[in-house]
Structures are given as structure tokens and as C-alpha cells.
Structure 1
């Protein structure tokens, strides 16, 4: 029997913090050891810092101007620093949460929309998903060196978007316009397609999250249903309700304390809830108007989930989830961080 059935849930979704004044501001985010959330500047000029203790924000680091899609997605590394993935920018952006200082690191790469999102592997290496780029990017935070790994794809295909580390130690990248999931083996730096061939055209899925059952759930952007992938068997299954094939419905996802996955709305009007226990989906929380609202869903150590604003003028906070807390130990961050195994970083920090 599912123990959650005996525990009611109350969802409180609200907008918080001071207003923003620009659009296409930030893309995704990551929690740092200081408990704050950091979001890379897409069209914004500086890194966004969200403080869950006050539910407000400020900007930190150097000014990088207002070009579009400069950095997309972030990863916390074992050195305590955050690394933002270069979209249109030519290098990774390193942020030191202890000082708020940002630095450009790694080799220079030209081109637009190169990589979207990154994943920390058990070997301490960050791997970034090829969007328009022809190969996966590899960043070693200990040496700040970068290289391209895995098979070669055709350029400019909008192939993969974000990724996640599975319990088998392999990285899986979300198929945006690709027809299959991409698997990366960090022990060999090789890639391979896995799972079934997917239909539905370009822009299928834009985010993925590892559930407590070890399966990966992919957030529907243009696809009409959630995609479940089992790394143990290599099989994919469509689950839950159909939400139609309009584009950019949801672009991000994160695991909540109740063991469910939540996706902040981009063009959809409400938050999507994915229940991995029953493989069901539903819409929760308040309704939002407008387009391109939130591009990130990030879990904080206070148990709430925060929506990172793209065009929306405020932050979004989902809280008040009442019931069994399956992830409490994930939010009690060990001190000092030097004692935390590299393979545990995603459990505590890189959960979105």
C-alpha cells in the first residue's frame, strides 16, 4: 500500500520577492552549501541569488551584459563552486558562493546555443548536454580544463536539454529534438542512444529528474505526456494524463520532500505534479498567466521549491506540502563538505 494515501497534501503556490524589470532573465538554478540558490544570467547581466530564508533576491558577480542565452543551467562541484553552462557565452562561468565572485573558466568555444544544462558525475567531472553543439562538453572543476567527448552529432539540431545522474553512475541527457535519450558513461567518456525511438517532433522534453524509485521522469515541453525511463532495463514508458502538444509547457523539474516531482510552468498555466509511486500526473497550485514564465524549478533546504523567473516578474514558491518527508536526510547537509563523497553531491544539491 502507498503510505502517502493516508497523508493529505496542501499545496501553497505563490509569487514572492521584489519585482524584476526585464524578460528572458535566468535559466534554471542550483542550491549552494550556504543554502542560497544561484541562477545563471540568460539575458540578465548578473547571477541571481535567491535567499530562501527571506524569500527575496539580489544579483551578484560581474556584469556580463544583456546578450541572450549566455548561460543555461548550473552545477555545484565538490570544490564548493557553481559552474554555469555556456549557451551563447564562450566559456563556463564559475561562481564562488562564499564571496559572490564570478570568473570565466575553461577553453573558449564559439557559436550559439551550444550546451544546455550540466550534470556532475561520480568522477567529479561536469558533463553538459549538446544542444546545437556536436558533442558533449566535459569540465574538470579541479583543473578548470574542458574537452569534447562522446559521439559526434550534426550541428544546430537542438538535440538535448539538461540531464541527470542515475543510480548506475551513468548520465542521461533529455531528448529535446533528438528521437532517443542519450546515455553517457563517465568511466569511458563514451555515449550511446538508449530507450525507444520517440515520436512527436522537435521540442519533446526539456528536463528530467531522478525519482526515489531509481527511474527518471522527463518533463513534457511539446510532448503530450510525461516520459518515464528505467535505467535498469533501458525501457521507456509514457505515463499520466495527456496535456496536448502545445510547445514549451514545462521546462524544468525537481524532487520534493514528499517524493513527488514538480515542474514550474513555462507556457502552461499551472504546476505539474508527477507521482512516481503511482505513475500519475496532475496540475496543482494557483494559475499563472503569460508566456515563458519560469525556466527553473529548484529545491531548497527549507523543503520548498522555487520557480526561477524567465519573463515572470516575480519568483514562485511552492510550499506547504504536508505528509511523509522522504528527503529530510537529503536536506541536512553534512559539514564539512570535504567529507562529502562526490557521488552524493547530486543528492544534496543538484536535484533539479
Structure 2
């Protein structure tokens, strides 16, 4: 079945917005999502053609099935922490999705085959606004491009001094700690 919609997860809205790309009208889908104020700020298409949204201030991962117009929250309750995750991407191979922590302390891993969510990796500490974007690709090509782009942007940074402390490749995703 050909999907002719685009989908937007709720930030301050209460439901998911389904946008018709064929001119047949837009609509809200799924039930009201009530936990958190700024609920979701990112979404990515998973290897199973469903959309996964890491929680910004919501408590759980949001799973959207565009073909069936269904919405559900999955996985563990990640708590009330503000600005937990603001990016998510599919791993370059397999059935996993990863979200880099913004204010959360761990990487978020979503197993799309089992709808299983867990925090993985070492504790990245209490630093606020650690990561804001994530790109997945086949290493080392993606990692080199991202590292080059980040270093290029840092050289033109006019804010406080920024020093790259650590670069880590985790399951095909480049994480930079500053």
C-alpha cells in the first residue's frame, strides 16, 4: 500500500498530526497523549516502515504506524526529566533505533522487532543539552562526514570555548562529547 501522508508527533499538541500529501485533508490520529509538556521533538522512520519518536518530556517512546493510522506509546517509563532526547535514527543495519541523550544520561535503544526500549551504554553524566542531532550511516563514511562537519562548525563558534573531549562510535552512530 502506498502511504500518501506525512506525520508530525505532538510537541505541545495532544495528538499526532497526519498530513495528506494527496490533498485529501489533514487529521489528528491516535488517542490524547498526556504525559509531559513538550512531548516529542523528533521522529524517524524505522526499518519496519513505522515511525519512532524519542521522548523530549513525554515518558515513553511514541510508535506511529502510518499504514493503519495507529499511535501508541511503547517501552519503559523514562520519567519526568525535561528534554530527555531530541533526536533519533535507525541503525545503519538491522532493526534497532537509537536516540542520543540531550539531558538524559544514557543512549536510548529501541528494538523495532520486539517493541522493546532500554537505556544502553555508559552513563554520560548530568551535563545538559549533550546532543541535539544524530545521523546514521555505514561507518566509517558517515562518521567521517559528521566529524568533519562538527569540527568545521566548532571552528566558527562564537560562543564560549568548546573543546571536543571524546568521540565514540556506538553501533554505527557517532557520538561527540564536548
| Offset from partner CA, 1:288-307 (integer Å, 9 cap, x none) | 23101100011134276769
- Partner of 1:294 in structure 2? 131
Change (3 A) 1:316 1:196: farther
- Greater Rg over alpha carbons, structure: 1
Runs of 4+ in 1 over 4 A off after TM superposition: 303-309
In structure 1, the gaps of 5 or more residues are: 1-166, 322-352
**Does residue 35 of structure 2 align to residue 200 of structure 1?**
yes
Deviations 1:140-175 (A, max 9, x none): xxxxxxxxxxxxxxxxxxxxxxxxxxx613111121
Change (3 A) 1:194 1:268: same
Per the alignment, residue 175 of structure 2 pairs with none
Equivalent position of 1:267 in the other structure: 103
Please give the TM-score of this superposition, normalised by the length of structure 1: 0.40
CA-based RMSD of the aligned residues comes to 2.6
Report 1:71-90 matches (<5 A): none
Match of 1:255? 90
Unaligned runs of 5+ in 2: 155-159, 173-178
Calculate the TM-score normalised by the size of structure 2.
0.75
* C-alpha deviation, 1:313, in angstroms: 4.6
Higher strand share: 1
* Paired position in structure 2 for 1:169: 4
Higher relative contact order (CA 8 A, sep 6+): 1
Summarize the alignment of residues 1-352 of structure 1 with structure 2, pairs less than 5 Å apart: 168-188=3-23, 190-256=25-91, 257-289=93-125, 290-302=127-139, 313-314=163-164, 317-320=168-171
For residues 251 and 226 of structure 1, the distance between their equivalents in structure 2, rounded to whole angstroms, comes to 12
